[in-house]
Structure 1
Amino acid sequence: MESKYKILLLITLILGGWGHGEAQILKKLKKRAAEAAEETILRKVEEKTAEETEKTMDTILEAPGKKIRKKKGKNGNDDPYGEGDGEYEDEEGFEEESDLASLEIYSKFDFVPGDQPLFFDDFESDYIGDFPSKWNTNGGGEVVSTAEGSEKWYEMKSGYTIYHIPDVPQLPEEYTIEFDLLAIGIDQQTASTTVMKVILSDDPGFQLGNYAYAQMSFCQYAAVGLWVRNSTKDINNEVSADIREAVLNQPHISIAVNKQRFRMWVDEMKVVDIPRLVPAANRPDRLKFELINFKDGKERLFIRNLKVAEGGQDLRRQLIEQGSVSTNGILFDSGSANLQPQSLGIIRQISQVLQQDISLNLLIVGHTDADGDEAANKDLSLRRAQAVKGALVSVYGIDPGRLEAEGKGESEPVAENSTSDGKAKNRRVQFVKL
């Protein structure tokens, strides 16, 4: 195609001095040259997209109990909430276990998750092929697993389908929402109307009622951005953002609601920040999802690790005033001390306290749930505390002499270890003034 373009361009130059009749031929040749160049670009894009889609589709099995093979995230993520064995000696090995480059990308990430868990679902208690027990829908969907069976995802179905989470209590004024997405079959033919809505609603069923929502498009041929709208109709607008690459790479979605303010991040990028999106009157206090226009059998969307927590407040003030702060918003890869980069919103706030008060020293304490061996959990909790120390030192420049790390393992639970909600509460990191 490239040689064809050069030949057409050469003919164009040779015919440059022709008259009116010949000028028409010249115009057609120029047009064809431009079309040839455009075809080359489109072909390259489509080949690359097809290649990536084929790789992902190869991970889906056609058997009735279909599974998804484990897809690593940007820094090798498996299960961000799991426990297990790992290899980590001390904070000197921080860069070997944590992906420092990924962490530095997130170094200005300012999302802080709530500190009082309200709901968590990793589909641990659900059977493959079933609809998840904590959800409700007017459509369909099923739980699927990785090829290794260690990871479960919920496949959401399209067709203007509403997904309601009745087990999420009425949401408070200040809370956060987090989840992971996996999109398969997305390519240059994916329509701009192929979207997922995250909806806040006051209706307990499948209607919108009084609402506010943010709508993500999975379109690849243009940067469609996100659409935000509320039921009062004073906000109904497209917010510019290019999330095309992010939606192809298993993005982590973070949302913070502070009364009327609505903020949303796709990975480390803040894509929505609307001061008064959530209606004040008849405040929406239910969480719903809606899928629209995903092509059946081709474009598929999966969700996992849905976490809702009250709070999301500034942890800096609490640490300064109370002398300690505990959070379960610092996440690690399964069975390791590898920090997930979306945890840096919290670590960044802690670093700011240390930078403000140079006389302050901190003890960092890691805690796990009760899954696995007790001794292994204590070792894991220590390594995770050391990883947080390593991030404060390597990413934010804090003097390591001002920080100590300790691991408590499963010895100090704050909730029952018999449920996924309780386990999520027990996996936490504390910061204590020395």
Structure 2
Amino acid sequence: MKTSSPGKVLLGFALVFGFCLNGNAQLLKKLGKRAERAAERTIERRVEKETAEKTDQALDSILEPGSKGKQQTPRTPQPNDGGQGNQGNQTDGPPNSGTPAPSGPKTIQVYSKFDYVPGDKQMFFDDFSYDFIGDFPSKWNTNAGGELVTLGDSPQKWLELKSGYNIYYIPDVPQLPEEYTIEFDLAAVGLDRKTSSTAKVAITLSDDAQFKPGTNNAYAEIPFCQYAAIGVTVQNNINGRREIRSTVKADLRDVVLNNPHISIAVNKLRFRLWVNEVKYIDVPRLVAPGAVIHTVKFLANGFQDGKEKVFITNLKVAEGGVDLRRKLISEGKISTNGILFDSGSANIQPQSMGIIRQISQVLMQEGSMNLKIVGHTDSDGSDESNLQLSKDRAEAVKNALVNVYGIGADRLVSEGKGESEPVGDNTTTDGKAQNRRVEFIRQ
């Protein structure tokens, strides 16, 4: 048997040892870079959080009269409640408890530059208030099934979107005009670091009225993945052929844990999408020219069955979404139900700042213009409480114009009319939502 000399053996050990050292050094170098990136990301998040909290404290005293920057328990978003319903607060709970993840102290983001303006002629609204828990909502259709639930102690009702390919949830929205807006709230439970990169909710505008994508469609996907930053995807099909597909970089991992509010504006071919106050999509020619959009469809995909669940509520579709500034200048009066308030209070919901911002721009341009701000409510509650609530809400809008945008207080007066001048049927959800409105009248 052939044996190796001691010198060769030592040389072999040296080579192996050197290789290991070199490999370990490379591994440590890679780990070091990852740790460095993780540290940078953590610092950025903390700085953003602290900056937002300081800004919120300043804005809270304006948008939440009497709060003086006090931290409050977060509410489940009520985008079109705006009235007198007895909506409870969102409760805290761990990710897998069946309760939306806690968002921490209630905050108001920097919505002063938010440029979303909801349509002023409501076509559809559903918060499921007239449906029973355990039932499928009466104003929706699906090819899969589902039921309404509550999350935690809040009475707000949510529809679970079952996850799977070609499972659609279709509200009874009438044929859509050329210009319209869509708003809704999402919630998710059971998400963790293993939540798939394919976990998404898609919103589709389609010329097909049933359960197919349609020959002409446009859609966007909201990601729920937790282990990586998956961007917002937008795509279309024109006459059955895909023309656009792109993914905009976005880290929504924290956002989707805290009941995000989604806003969409369609102006003929143009498609824009906001998540909370941030605009992620603005494609000038996404919707197929000449296409008749029959439906809005929701589809959830990639969520782990039995563990991860996603829900929707407070869907509002409205015709319009056009520039209110020109209308106020030309007609001297506008009415909008897009300025939203917390239930039973005069606290302005921050996503309403797009409208208030446009009003401020008119007043800045038209230096001689003075405005009367008039608040209206639905008929829930007593006449006296509704009258006072409408006055408080009109005054809150005035305060926002003065304190956020620097409009002179002497150019504004506020007034409340309670439930005395309805424009819709107070026995229906849609009618009540139309009656909860704010008017701006040139003086």
Whether TM exceeds 0.5 here: the answer is: yes
Residues paired across the two proteins, number: 377
State the 1:36 CA deviation. 6.5
Counterpart for residue 266 of structure 1: 275
Q: Residues of 2 paired with 1:331 and 1:206: CA distance?
A: 33
Q: Matches of residues 29-428 of structure 1 in structure 2 within 5 Å?
A: 29-31=24-26, 33=28, 76=75, 79-80=78-79, 81-84=81-84, 102=108, 105-148=110-153, 150-160=155-165, 161-165=167-171, 167-209=172-214, 210-232=216-238, 233-428=242-437
Read off the aligned partner of 2:84 and give its amino acid letter.
G
Read off the aligned partner of 2:19 and give its amino acid letter.
Q
- Please state whether the residue corresponding to 1:377 is helix, strand or coil: helix
Query: After the TM superposition, which of the residue ranges 281-290 and 349-358 deviates more from structure 2?
Result: 281-290
State the 1:101 CA deviation. 6.8
Paired residue for 2:18, among 23, 36, 47? 23
Read off the aligned partner of 2:396 and give its amino acid letter.
A
Q: Residues of 2 paired with 1:85 and 1:386: CA distance?
A: 21
Read off the aligned partner of 1:397 and give its amino acid letter.
G
Query: After the TM superposition, which of the residue ranges 312-321 and 216-225 deviates more from structure 2?
Result: 216-225
1:124-171 deviations in Å (ceiling 9; x for gaps): 111001111100001122111245453111111111211112x21100
Please say if residues 202 and 219 of structure 2, whose CA atoms lie closer than 8 Å, have aligned partners that are also in contact.
yes
State the 1:383 CA deviation. 0.7
Please say if residues 84 and 376 of structure 1, whose CA atoms lie closer than 8 Å, have aligned partners that are also in contact.
no
State the Cα RMSD in Å. Answer: 2.7
1:197-230 deviations in Å (ceiling 9; x for gaps): 1000111110111211111111122222122111
Read off the aligned partner of 1:181 and give its amino acid letter.
L
For structure 1, the 5+ residue unaligned runs are 1-17, 46-71, 87-98
State the 1:239 CA deviation. 2.3
Please say if residues 182 and 248 of structure 1, whose CA atoms lie closer than 8 Å, have aligned partners that are also in contact.
yes
Please say if residues 121 and 305 of structure 1, whose CA atoms lie closer than 8 Å, have aligned partners that are also in contact.
yes
State the 1:42 CA deviation. 8.4
1:4-38 deviations in Å (ceiling 9; x for gaps): xxxxxxxxxxxxxx975543232233255457766
Q: Matches of residues 6-21 of structure 1 in structure 2 within 5 Å?
A: 21=16
Q: Residues of 1 paired with 2:130 and 2:107: CA distance?
A: 35
Please say if residues 264 and 270 of structure 1, whose CA atoms lie closer than 8 Å, have aligned partners that are also in contact.
yes
State the 1:362 CA deviation. 0.8
Read off the aligned partner of 1:378 and give its amino acid letter.
L
Read off the aligned partner of 2:220 and give its amino acid letter.
A
State the 1:282 CA deviation. 2.9
1:67-103 deviations in Å (ceiling 9; x for gaps): xxxxx999645534142399xxxxxxxxxxxx99725
For structure 2, the 5+ residue unaligned runs are 1-12, 42-70, 87-104
Q: Residues of 2 paired with 1:76 and 1:195: CA distance?
A: 24
Counterpart for residue 8 of structure 1: none
Please say if residues 225 and 238 of structure 1, whose CA atoms lie closer than 8 Å, have aligned partners that are also in contact.
yes
Q: Residues of 2 paired with 1:153 and 1:320: CA distance?
A: 40
TM-score computed with the length of structure 1 as normaliser: 0.81
- Please state whether the residue corresponding to 1:238 is helix, strand or coil: strand
Read off the aligned partner of 1:79 and give its amino acid letter.
Q
Q: Residues of 2 paired with 1:382 and 1:85: CA distance?
A: 18
Return closer, same or farther for 1:348/1:297 CA change in 2, 3 Å cut-off.
same
Q: Residues of 2 paired with 1:329 and 1:195: CA distance?
A: 27
TM-score computed with the length of structure 2 as normaliser: 0.80
- Please state whether the residue corresponding to 1:234 is helix, strand or coil: strand
- Please state whether the residue corresponding to 1:352 is helix, strand or coil: helix
Percent of aligned pairs with the same amino acid: 56
